[in-house]
Amino acid sequence: MSPEFKLLGTGAGPGVPAFYCDCIACREARKKPQRARTRSGAFIDTGKEGILIDASPDLRSQLMKEQIDSLDYLFITHWHYDHFGGIGDLEFYIKLKRKHPVKLFLPSSAVGDFQAAYPFMMDVFELESWDYERSYNFSNVKLTVLPANHGIQTGGLLLEADQRIAYFTDTSGLPELTEQRIKGVDTLICDATFHGENWYPNNHMSIEEAIQLGEKVRASHTILTHLAMHYSAPTTVQQIEEELHFYPKVSIAFDGLTLQL
Contact (Cβ atoms closer than 8 angstroms) between residue 148 and residue 123: no
Residue 231: predicted pLDDT: 86
CA dihedral for 17, 19, 23, 24, sign (positive or negative): positive
Instruction: Determine which helix (DSSP H) or strand (DSSP E) holds 155, and give its type and residue range.
Output: strand 155-160
Residue 150: predicted pLDDT: 97
Residue 2: predicted pLDDT: 86
Q: Which residues partner with 100 through β-bridges? A: none
pTM of the model: 0.96
C-alpha 82/C-alpha 54 separation (Å) is 9
Contact (Cβ atoms closer than 8 angstroms) between residue 130 and residue 145: yes
For 43, counting Cβ atoms within 10 Å of its Cβ (0-12 exposed, 13-18 middle, 19+ buried), the class is buried
pLDDT tens by residue, the chain, 261 residues: 789 999 999 999 999 999 999 999 999 999 999 999 999 999 999 999 999 999 999 999 999 999 999 999 999 999 999 999 999 999 999 999 999 999 999 999 999 999 999 999 999 999 999 999 999 999 999 999 999 999 999 999 999 999 999 999 999 999 999 999 999 999 999 999 999 999 999 999 999 999 999 999 999 999 999 999 998 899 999 999 999 999 999 999 999 999 999
Could you give the 3-state DSSP secondary structure of residue 29? helix
